[in-house]
Amino acid sequence: MAVMKKTLIINGVERMFICDPENDTLADVLRRLGLTGTKVGCRAGQCGICSVLLDGEVTRSCLKKIRAVPYYARVETIEGLGTAQSLHPLQLAWMVQGAVQCGFCTPGFIMSAKGLLDQNQDPTREEVRAWFRKNRNACRCTGYKQIVDAVMDAAKVLRGEKTMADLAFRMPADGRIYGSSIPRPAALGKVMGACDYGDDLAQKTPDVLHLAVVLPGCSHARIKGLDTSEAEKAPGVFKVITARDIRGNNRLALPTAHPRAKADGLEQPIISDQKVVRFGDVLALVAAETPAQARAAAALVQPDLEPLPEYPTALEASAPDALEIHPGVPNLFVTLPVLKGEEARKVLDESAHTVSGSFYSTRQPHLVLEPDTAQAYVDAEGVLTIHCKALALQVTIDAISDGIGFPPDKMRMILNPTGASFGYTMSPETPALVAVAALATGRPVSLTLSYPEHQHFTGKRAASFSNARLGCDAEGKLTGVEYELVYDKGCYTEYGAALAEMGTRFFTLPYYLPNVTGLARSVLSNHAHSTAYRGYGSPQGYTASEQLMDMLAEKSGIDPFEFRYKNVIRPGLTSQNGHGFAVYPMIEILDRMRPRYQALKERAARESTDRKKRGVGIVCGMFNVTGYSGDHAEVALELGPDGAVTHFNTWEDQGQGGDVGTLVLTHEALRPLGIRPDQIKMVMNDTALCPPTGMAASSRSHLMAGLATLDAARKLMDAMRKPDGAFRTHAEMTAENIPTKYVGISDTAAATTPLDLNTGQGDPSIEYTFGAFLAEVEVDLDTGQTRVVAMHTVGDVGVIGNKAVVDGQAYGGMMHTIGFALSENYFDVKKHATLAGAGFPYIDMIPDGDDFTVEYVETPRPAGPHGSSGCAELFQTSGHVAVINAIYHAVGVRVHDLPATPEKVLALLKAKAEGRLAPPPPYFFGEDFYDTIEEIKTNPVSWE
């Protein structure tokens, strides 16, 4: 390798360095110089994460070869913009507007925005959006609106219309921060580029080995052999790690644990040893001294594979002649019922109006901007320590311990600052890989996937197939529903019964159905395994039920908004699982939404042209807060000598706001002490230091951690309280031998009931969130292109703990639903391997300003801390169907299979024009629906 010396002016300082002119990019050089505020995401120029200013021009540094950068060129990075004591207006605006969530895109966005404001200090919102689209600045968390807000605010400061003091957050007069928009504690480090994510940490770890994965290049095959000889001789290679090097049983323990499941959940290898069952299986790991050496050697590994038939969808895998993907495990491995009232077939046959349909929702990729990354090492005490992205730290230890052959009590999980996950890091695969490598090599290791590897390896939202029929009486009141919802689980059974259970809970909610006959199933296929994704399991059901609601409204001659208003659950009515709710806010939610609905309908009619038609779609949605009966969480509060209180928890924060949630919950619980926010310290997400707070899933964290915080605060204040009502100091408690640290506990066992295995009746969740989503679209009749003109939501998530954070979850969630509806997919392993190829929603796809809003109905939750609940997942439940319904109301064609790409819409428009438009035939899953229902009725099962 040839090297050369070069000198650049970086952040105003002359910097000389040695580089590889043929292979190094500007991003590589900056990061090697320690300027890791410049992040690297896709390495393909599609995300703008790596944006810096090069001689004043916004430049994607991952694409800029260092040889093409002139000597003494001026480079500006995030590190040169401001200090903690003297922030740039853009940095402060990002913090106060809530434009920082995971923060991985923040440095690139801020540098791009600086490039704009250096040229134009008075841009319009449209000019800001056009600038970010031109420079391909992508964000997966925020929905972009708060980012544009931040640029507009910073521009006012630069123009002298607002001071930094005006811009800064102000403490409320009463000193209460609960319900305010106090910035996230982690935001400061993120806007300065001082926050080290996983790959940044690896750059600063001594003696680290870099890992590269060997993937099979096919989706179903027997492994006959693996030739690693050439890779072992390659430069820099320390070791090639295969399944033979694993000490344990080489299986991830994700028990299906359900009497109706025909799988044990123990079929997934850490490194594949017998079969390939997906394109993203790992056949080997190469450990080398540099990432480039590891990747070069990985390409030399030669697998010997015997091809097997590939079943890319659940339909093909459930065919009678399909091979079992995992021998001994039926591909259709779990079927769960929901039975309420009379048999729906009889009721529907007698109903005044019925509609039916078959629907498909895609395998939605999470499309995070930070490819998966993790590090591991054995520390001086012999503890295997794993740094990673994980939404379930303790669960991960339990899931990988037997597989890697290491005792769980000698393992430590630490959550790195994380470039988001939206659910996929519930899967423990990556921590298992780095753990195996650390044990096999005896050295610290780091794995950072390329973006295509990330796409192939990580789990996705389960694709789904459904058949359903819905009916109502002559007045438009729903009478019953029958449905079969099949989740395409992909190659592994991970959480497959829990996923099917969600299908028995949310299909048709929040409407009252007196009679329900439903089946939810999970089926294996040779594709990326499904894993958690916000709204887990509910968007697939809503894909069918919210389209059927529109279809039935039309058949009944009732406006789709009014049809929903007539049928939402009111006090005294029950869900399809037979339970009531603590609150019933849907009427108020829809009353709030009605004026917007009418206004958008009028605008759509007014703005439609001969070639571009507009339409409006409305949907309702719900989600649970806590996902299973008997949820449990622990936190700890400790009084320090300086009067500060330290909060210890494992609230796995990956951008959703666990840090500020911890802050406001603790401050509110300890208000009698009169402590300031800066007197609350946080130690989070290190299993060696923190009690188990539980996984960050099922919208549970704010509620469960909040209740545990209240319990710990009561215990601490009771211990501090003197007989006269005053509070002891730390010194006084120590002198009296009174403990200063207390563990708080919350548990829902007494307040919840598991679903009945034979009827689906019960209530595993302590609370719920409710909402309605409204979309206006414009469809180009010549191209089939759909543009979302406006999207609005009214949600009820209980009392809001931090307004800016919940706004961010709402806007970001709506962005995900737009992508889900129109573009996002992971099916074609070549086309969908990149952000752009997989349909990432850039800023021009998302509405802004008055056309993109969120309102709240804050009904206090009796079971929640301070009346609060959870929030994030509501906003990714059903909004995608508002877009699909809007397309129908614009041009009269219904998209039954997502995403609604221009090609699909155009084909439907052509079929309509030619008089051959017809709904798709029902899906067939190998056995009669009502035969299965009868078998369940006659063969009940129990947990015993």
Model confidence at 928, pLDDT cuts 50, 70, 90, reads confident
What's at 447, amino acid-wise? L
Take residue 713 and report the two structure tokens written for it: 């605060």
Residue carrying the six token digits 């960050």: 696
- pLDDT, average across residues 656-678: 97
The gap between the terminal CA atoms of the chain, to the nearest Å, is 65
Using CA atoms, how far apart are residues 596 and 206, in angstroms rounded to an integer? 58
C-alpha closest to that of 312 among 219, 206, 177: 219
pLDDT, residue 766, reads 96
Q: How many angstroms from the chain centroid is the CA of residue 520?
A: 23
Using CA atoms, how far apart are residues 500 and 335, in angstroms rounded to an integer? 7
Q: Is the dihedral of CA 713, 715, 721, 725 positive or negative?
A: positive
The rounded mean pLDDT for the chain is 97
Active site residue 873: yes
Residue 21, Cβ neighbours under 10 Å: how many? 15
What's at 30, amino acid-wise? L
- pLDDT, average across residues 661-672: 98
More confident residue, 812 or 927: 812
Q: Quick one: which H or E segment has residue 744?
A: strand 741-747
Measured at the CA of 420, the angle between CA 416 and CA 424, to 5 degrees, comes to 100
The pTM assigned to this predicted structure is 0.98
Cβ(695)–Cβ(426) below 8 Å = yes
Report whether the peptide linkage leading into residue 754 is cis, meaning its omega lies within 30 degrees of zero.
no
Strand partners, 518: 338, 483
Cβ(48)–Cβ(108) below 8 Å = yes
Reported residue count of the chain is 944
- pLDDT tens, residue by residue, 258-296: 999 999 999 999 999 999 999 999 999 999 999 999 999
Non-local CB neighbours of 182 within 8 Å, separated by 6+ positions: 169, 660, 663, 664, 677, 802
Model confidence at 87, pLDDT cuts 50, 70, 90, reads very high
- pLDDT tens, residue by residue, 829-839: 999 999 999 99
Model confidence at 325, pLDDT cuts 50, 70, 90, reads very high
CB-side exposure of 758: number of CA atoms within 13 Å? 10
Non-local CB neighbours of 547 within 8 Å, separated by 6+ positions: 357, 359, 881, 884, 885, 894, 896
- pLDDT tens, residue by residue, 131-178: 999 999 999 999 999 999 999 999 999 999 999 999 999 999 999 999
Using CA atoms, how far apart are residues 104 and 50, in angstroms rounded to an integer? 10
Using CA atoms, how far apart are residues 568 and 561, in angstroms rounded to an integer? 11
Q: Quick one: which H or E segment has residue 916?
A: none
- pLDDT tens, residue by residue, 690-710: 999 999 999 999 999 999 999
pLDDT, residue 257, reads 78
Residue 737, Cβ neighbours under 10 Å: how many? 6
Portion of the chain with pLDDT greater than 70, in percent: 100
pLDDT, residue 586, reads 98
Strand 767-780, strand 741-747: pairing = unpaired
Residue carrying the six token digits 């050697």: 297
Non-local CB neighbours of 481 within 8 Å, separated by 6+ positions: 344, 348, 468, 469, 470, 471, 507, 508, 513, 515, 516, 517, 518, 545, 548, 576
Using CA atoms, how far apart are residues 10 and 37, in angstroms rounded to an integer? 13
Rg (CA), the chain: 27
Cβ(623)–Cβ(637) below 8 Å = no
Using CA atoms, how far apart are residues 361 and 820, in angstroms rounded to an integer? 9
- pLDDT tens, residue by residue, 626-660: 988 899 999 999 999 999 999 999 999 999 999 99
Strand 384-388, strand 373-378: pairing = antiparallel
pLDDT, residue 49, reads 97
Model confidence at 256, pLDDT cuts 50, 70, 90, reads confident
Strand partners, 568: 511
CB-side exposure of 745: number of CA atoms within 13 Å? 5
Cβ(743)–Cβ(630) below 8 Å = no
pLDDT, residue 844, reads 98
Residue 640, Cβ neighbours under 10 Å: how many? 13
Cβ(740)–Cβ(733) below 8 Å = yes
Main-chain phi, psi angles of 386, to 5 degrees? -120, 125
pLDDT, residue 628, reads 86
Using CA atoms, how far apart are residues 272 and 270, in angstroms rounded to an integer? 6
C-alpha closest to that of 1 among 285, 253, 292, 264: 292
pLDDT, residue 549, reads 98
Annotated active-site residue in 588, 668, 873, 927: 873
In this model, does residue 109 exceed pLDDT 80? yes
In this model, does residue 462 exceed pLDDT 90? yes
DSSP string, 290-304: SHHHHHHHHTT-EEE
- pLDDT, average across residues 605-614: 98
Instruction: Write the CA distances from 350 to 338, 481, 783, integer angstroms.
Output: 21, 12, 42
Take residue 175 and report the two structure tokens written for it: 């000193």
pLDDT, residue 944, reads 77
- pLDDT, average across residues 200-208: 95
Using CA atoms, how far apart are residues 597 and 586, in angstroms rounded to an integer? 15
* 3-state SS class at 171: coil
In this model, does residue 927 exceed pLDDT 90? no
pLDDT, residue 1, reads 72
- pLDDT, average across residues 785-792: 98
Cβ(167)–Cβ(151) below 8 Å = no
